[in-house]
Amino acid sequence: IQFVPRVEIGQTIFNSVKIPKENVLGDKGQGYKNLFSGLVAERCAIIGSSLGIAWLTAITALIYTNIRTQFNRPIYDFQGVSFPITQLITELMAATELGFTSATEYDKTIERQHFKEKKYIKYNASFSSGAKFLASNLAHKISYETQQLCGGIAFTDNLRIDKALEVAKVQEIIGGARNIQLYLVSRAIKDMISFL
C-alpha cells in the first residue's frame, strides 16, 4: 500500500560489542522492562493519531454532505445521511474524551513518579489499551462509513477518505492488535471483579 506510512522492521545483531558505562541507558538487565515501559506512551500517540483520522473523515463527510445536493437540497438533510454521521460524531466525541483522559492519567503517573509501581503500570496499560482499542476501531469504522456516505468521490484525491481508511487499518494493528488490547482490558476487569 503505497500511501500508508510504514516503519521498516528488521533485525539488528551485535556481536562482541562493548558499550562504555557512560553510554549505557538504564540499569543493566532492565532493557526488556524499559522497552515495555514505553508501550503506554506509544498507545497514547496511536490514540491521538486515530482520533485525528476519525475527526478528519467525519468533518470531511459533514462538509461534503452539506455541499452536495440532490432534489434541490443538501444530502445531509436526508435522515439516511445525517443520522449515521451524527451517530459517528457522537461516538467520536466520547472516544476523544476517553483518549484525553487516558493521556492525562499517564501524565499524572509520570509526574508523580509512580511509573515503577506495578499497580500504576497495570492501570495505565489497561486504560490506554481500552482507549487505543476504541479510538483505532472507531477511526476505521468512521473512515469506512463516511466513504460509503460520500460515494464515489470518497475514492478520489478530492476527499482523501480512502487514504485515511488505509492508515486507520494500520492504526488498529500497531501498538498491539485489537485482541491484544482486549486481552489487557479483560485482565483489568478480572482484577476489578476480585475486589467485589
User: Is 1 part of any domain?
Assistant: no
C-alpha distances (whole Å) from 42 to each of 89, 195, 196 are 25, 29, 32
C-alpha distances (whole Å) from 66 to each of 47, 98, 142, 163 are 28, 29, 17, 22
Count of domains observed in the chain: 1
pTM of the predicted structure, to 2 decimals: 0.83
Question: How far apart, in whole angstroms, are the C-alpha atoms of residue 28 and residue 8?
Answer: 28
CATH of the domain at 68: 1.20.140.10
User: Is 13 part of any domain?
Assistant: no
User: Is 21 part of any domain?
Assistant: no
User: Is 14 part of any domain?
Assistant: no
User: Is 158 part of any domain?
Assistant: yes
Given a contact cutoff of 8 angstroms between Cβ atoms, the answer to whether 191 and 122 are in contact is yes
Given a contact cutoff of 8 angstroms between Cβ atoms, the answer to whether 166 and 66 are in contact is no
Given a contact cutoff of 8 angstroms between Cβ atoms, the answer to whether 187 and 126 are in contact is yes
Per-residue pLDDT of the chain (196 residues; tens, 9 = 90+): 444 555 566 788 889 998 898 888 888 888 877 777 788 889 999 999 999 999 999 999 999 999 999 999 999 999 999 999 999 999 999 999 999 999 998 888 877 776 667 777 777 888 899 999 999 999 999 999 999 999 999 888 888 899 899 899 999 998 899 999 999 999 988 888 877 7
Find the domain containing 78 and state its range. Answer: 30-194
User: Is 6 part of any domain?
Assistant: no
